[in-house]
Chains A and B, each alone.
Chain A
Amino acid sequence: MYRYDTLDHTLVAERVAQFRDQTQRFLAGQLSEDEFKPLRLRNGLYIQTHAPMLRVAVPYGLLSTRQVRMLAHLARKYDRGYGHFTTRQNIQYNWPKLEEVPDMLADLATVEMHAIQTSGNCIRNTTADHFAGIAPDEIDDPRPYCEIIRQWSTLHPEFNYLPRKFKIAVTGSPADRAASQVHDIGLHLRRGPDGQTGFEVLVGGGLGRTPIIGKVIRDFLPREHLLSYLEAVLRVYNRAGRRDNIYKARIKILVKAMGEEAFRAAVEQEWALIRDTALLLDPTEIDRMRKYFRPLPYEKLPDIDVTVGREAAFVAWYRHNTRAHKVSGYRAVMVSLKTPGIAPGDMTAEQMDGLADLADLISSGEVRSTHDQNLVLGDVRQQDLYETWQRLTALGLATANIGTLADMICCPGLDFCSLANASSISIAHQITERFSDIDYLYDLGPLEIKMSGCMNACGHHHVGHIGILGVDKHGEEWYQITIGGSASGDSSLGDVIGPSVAKLEVANTLAMLLDVYVSIREEDETFLQVVRRVGVTPFRERVYAPSR
């Protein structure tokens, strides 16, 4: 993985000093709440319902075990012993003290981490496929380009006061595991006509109040032009994006207002002026970055059937929680952070330490975070899978539910977030209690439930096979349900099934939707395929039947 050099260390140390100074000025009354807000946000610090919340950047979801141990240390020393992994591969702490945040940042800096631009109207943490570098279907590893983007976007002088937040996701595979089509910019690695590496560029995807799938504005961008093209897009947006209404300030609204063609023309015009400047990426620089992400020295191992003679619980875990690896004899292991009764994405300090030890022992000394709030051990020898399962089970991280209904994405909701209308975590608990029969979940097949406590859509509800959105009706929590969304290669936005349902009715409503699915599915059809085949109507008729 990428390792800081003197420049990175200096920059982060100077940023910590800057934030310490800003915090002291605020605590001394020299900065007002309003003046401090944009400054603390640019360092990932929110003021939440109970306490400040600090969001720490996990660039493109990649962590060394040393970093994981530091995250555990922060949880113990400054928080209540746990952290919360987010839908953008970052980790949040919900209970730090404001005056201690500079110390947390200084601790993070010792392991080459920071919280820069994890919030605020600037370029956020760049996310990527959590199987980057190990996916069998990968065209090229997106991480060197993510690191190039991370550096370019960090404290970018021109783009730190954008109309609104700005999120970039990069994938190297045809299968989109980074929800790149619902990002402000989605970059898809492609091979060009002569075999050169480049990107398909999507712009203007997003969720929130106005969910939109990103539009392809360039079929192929040669890789050396990555930064000049990004700079052109950002410059057009910084100038022309709306600043009068925060609900219309994302780039997706600008693309819609200008029209795709006019937007593309504006970007191309700007790009023509800067493409051959110092922004042009030197091939030696790209090679230097690629060296940080070189494949491991894998052993030559055959693929083996590890399930022979093993107990059913292991076999179920193997089927649901491991994934193919590009190198024979290896698997990628999904570490489930969706234990029933625990908020999705939450992890205790003990689990972090235990997982770090396991990753050192049995995998590559790296841990990856996923956009669906789980973790990954990327390089596990198949012969070690049984032991991995045993150790993960002991840590409470082996719930065999990846990809099932129980593998929900969920924002912190009303329990923590000051923006939320409704609780998400209690609904997650209601659903996991109602659907506790794991065999039923397996029978339902792949099913993504995504839940947001408000329109900001941190839980990506629009692209859930089943989406749940908390709404406020006269001070009561209600839930709007959508079906048919997807964030994979064939992205789509879900359709609302009808009027929102009461809090206690959410799991019952899901049960009805699933009954309809089970009764009309053909052979191996998934829930999403059935919704796409028959539409919303049969589901709506069942949920809102007059007899109820």
Chain B
Amino acid sequence: MRQVVKHRQCQADAWSMPDEAAAAAGVVVSLADYLAVQAGTLASPAPAGAALGVQLEPADDEAQLLPFAAQLQLVVVNFPKTAEGRGYTQGRMLRERYGYRGELRAAGAVLLDQVFLLARCGFDAFAMAPGENLTLAAAELDRFSVAYQTAVGTVVQPHRRGQVG
């Protein structure tokens, strides 16, 4: 079973991703499918009692999730390449603008050295790239003890400086 770093712990992932067979606990679908299910034009692929999560691709507009922010339990933001940077904005917007409080998971080509920045954009779960050590990934959350900017979890005010975490 896939392991993810969630809330600083390594744990088994109970969810199935869009290209996988539906898991009993929860099923993640694409944004288009998620919106179609919500609109009633597509039957939910989730088994009875299972939650429905959504995976955003870099070009997706996370604002479309605003009406569902309170009910969603998992939003996966996919990083097809390590250099892909749109997900950082998607994460911040979900947390800061749309009030999303569920699990926000970075997935795809996510390497150790991105974990700290992603966490400051609101990510609290990480499905790391193959070969990445999850224990080291969790430790990366403490890489820096300070920050210059206001971001998720850090309000730097009035002197724009603050402790992280």
A residues sitting closer than 8 Å to B (CB atoms) are: 7, 10-11, 14-15, 18, 22, 35, 38-39, 121, 148, 151-152, 154-163, 235, 238-239, 243, 273, 277-279, 281-282, 284-285, 288
- CB within 8 Å for A282 and B159 given contacts A18-B143, A35-B82, A163-B85: yes
Beyond A7-B146, A14-B143, A38-B82, is A157–B117 a contact (Cβ under 8 Å)? Answer: yes
Question: For residue A151, which residues in chain B have a CB less than 8 angstroms away from its CB?
Answer: 148-149, 160-161
> How many angstroms between the C-alpha atoms of A105 and B145 in the bound complex?
19
| Inter-chain contact B113/A278, CB cutoff 8 Å | no
Flag if B89 contacts A278 (CB, 8 Å): no
Chain B nearest Cβ from A42, distance in angstroms: 9
Contact present for B113 and A22 (CB under 8 Å): yes
Specify the chain A residue showing the minimal Cβ separation from B140.
Answer: A18
B105 CB-CB contact with A under 8 Å: no
Q: Taking CB as reference atom, which chain B residue is nearest A281?
A: B160
CB distance from A147 to the nearest CB of B (A): 11
Min CB distance, B25 to chain A, in Å?
30
User: A121-B83, A243-B84, A273-B97 known; A278 and B156 CB under 8 Å?
Assistant: yes
Closest 9 CB pairs of A and B: A161-B85, A157-B120, A278-B150, A282-B158, A151-B148, A157-B117, A158-B88, A278-B157, A14-B144
| In the complex, chain B residues 105-157 whose Cβ is within 8 Å of any chain A Cβ | 111, 113-114, 116-118, 120-121, 143-151, 155-157
- Residue of B82, B150, B155, B158 touching A284 (CB-CB under 8 A): B158
Nearest chain A CB to B97 CB, angstrom units: 7
- Cβ < 8 Å to A, chain B residues 66-117: 82-86, 88-89, 92, 97, 111, 113-114, 116-117
Q: What is the distance, in angstroms, from A97's C-beta to the closest C-beta of chain B? A: 22
Give min CB distance, A198 to chain B, whole Å.
19
Contact among B88, B116, B144, B151 with A11 in the assembled complex (CB-CB below 8 Å): B144
For the complex formed, measure the closest distance between the CB of A257 and the CB atoms of chain B, giving whole angstroms: 15
Within the complex, the shortest CB–CB distance from B87 to chain A, in Å, comes to 9
Q: Are A158 and B89 in contact (CB-based, < 8 A)?
A: yes
Say whether B89 contacts A288, CB under 8 Å.
Answer: no
Q: CB < 8 Å: which of B58, B121, B155, B161 contacts A158?
A: B121
Given known pairs A14-B143, A273-B97, A278-B155, the reply for A152 and B148 (CB within 8 Å) is: yes
CA gap between A39 and B84 in the complex, in Å: 14
| Set of chain B residues within 8 Å of A7, measured between Cβ atoms | 146, 148, 161
Contacts of B146 in A (CB 8 A): 7, 10-11, 14
| Residues of the A chain whose Cβ atoms lie less than 8 Å from the Cβ of B58 | 243
Residues of chain B within 8 A of A281, CB atoms compared = 160
Q: Which residues of A contact B116 (CB under 8 A)?
A: 157
Task: Give complex CA distance A151, B156 in Å.
Answer: 12
Known: A14-B143, A38-B83, A285-B158. A235 touches B89 (CB 8 A): yes
Q: How many residues in B have their beta carbons less than 8 Å from beta carbons of A?
A: 34
A–B Cβ pairs within 8 angstroms, 11 of them: A11-B146, A14-B145, A35-B111, A148-B160, A152-B149, A157-B117, A157-B120, A158-B89, A239-B86, A278-B155, A282-B157
**Besides A11-B144, A158-B151, 14 other CB < 8 A contacts?**
A22-B113, A151-B148, A151-B149, A152-B148, A152-B149, A157-B116, A157-B117, A157-B149, A158-B92, A235-B89, A239-B89, A243-B84, A278-B156, A284-B159
| Bound Cα distance A148, B86 (Å) | 25
Whether the Cβ atoms of A157 and B151 lie closer than 8 Å is yes
- Least Cβ distance of A12 to chain B in Å? 10
A10 and B144 CA atoms in complex are apart in Å by 8
Q: How far is the CB of B24 from chain A (nearest CB, A)?
A: 35
User: Would A155 and B117 be within 8 Å (CB), given that A161-B84, A235-B89 are in contact?
Assistant: yes
CA distance A148 to B84 in the complex (A): 27
Nearest A residue (CB) for B161:
A7
Chain A residues with CB below 8 A from B114, complex form: 161
Q: Which residues of B contact A156 (CB under 8 A)?
A: 148-149
Closest A residue to B155 using CB positions: A278
Q: Judge whether A154 and B160 touch: CB under 8 Å.
A: no
Q: A35-B82, A238-B88, A278-B155 are in contact. Are A160 and B117 (CB under 8 A)?
A: yes
Contacts of A10 in B (CB 8 A): 145-146
* Bound complex: CA A39 to CA B82 (Å): 11
A277 to B121, CA, bound (A): 16
Please give, as numbers and ranges, the residues of chain B lying within 8 Å of A162 by CB-CB distance.
85
For A22, the chain B residues whose CB sits under 8 A away are 113
Q: Are B111 and A277 in contact (CB under 8 A)?
A: no
Of the candidates B113, B155, B159, which one forms a contact with A288 in the assembled complex, judged by CB atoms under 8 Å apart?
B159
Q: Name the residue of chain B whose CB is nearest to the CB of A279.
A: B150
Q: Are B155 and A238 in contact (CB under 8 A)?
A: no
The residue from A11, A148, A238 contacting B85, defined by CB atoms under 8 A apart: A238
Which residues of B are found within 8 Å of A282, using beta-carbon distances? 157-160
CB contacts (< 8 Å) of A121 on chain B: these are 83, 85
Shortest distance from the beta carbon of B71 to any chain A beta carbon, whole Å:
24
* Cα-based distance from A15 to B145 in the complex (angstroms): 11
Determine the distance from Cα of A238 to Cα of B86 in the docked complex, in whole angstroms: 6
Q: How far is the CB of B134 from chain A (nearest CB, A)?
A: 14
User: Which chain A residues lie closer than 8 Å to B120 at the CB level?
Assistant: 157
Also in contact, A39 and B113, with CB within 8 A (given A158-B121, A243-B84, A282-B158):
yes
Choose from A15, A154, A157 the contact partner of B88 (Cβ within 8 Å): A157
* Complex contacts, A235 vs chain B, CB 8 Å: 89
B94 → A minimal CB distance (Å): 12
Query: With A38-B82, A162-B85 given, is the CB distance from A155 to B150 under 8 Å?
Result: no
- Complex contact A161–B83 (CB within 8 A): yes
Q: How far is the CB of A167 from chain B (nearest CB, A)?
A: 17
Residues in B whose Cβ lies below 8 Å from that of A279: 150
Determine the chain A residues whose CB is within 8 A of the CB of B160 once the complex forms. 148, 151-152, 281-282, 285
Q: Is the CB of A154 within 8 A of B85?
A: no
Distance of A152 Cα from B149 Cα, bound (Å): 6
Contact of B150 (CB < 8 Å), options: A14, A35, A277, A285: A277
* Inter-chain contacts of B97 with A (CB < 8 A): 273
What A residues does B151 contact at CB under 8 A? 157-158
Contact of A155 among B92, B148, B155, B158 (CB under 8 A): B148
Considering only CB atoms, which chain A residue lies closest to B109 in the complex? A35
CA distance A279 to B158 in the complex (A): 9
Known contacts A35-B111, A282-B159; is-contact A160 B144 (Cβ 8 Å): no
A11 contacts across to B, CB distance below 8 A: 144, 146-148
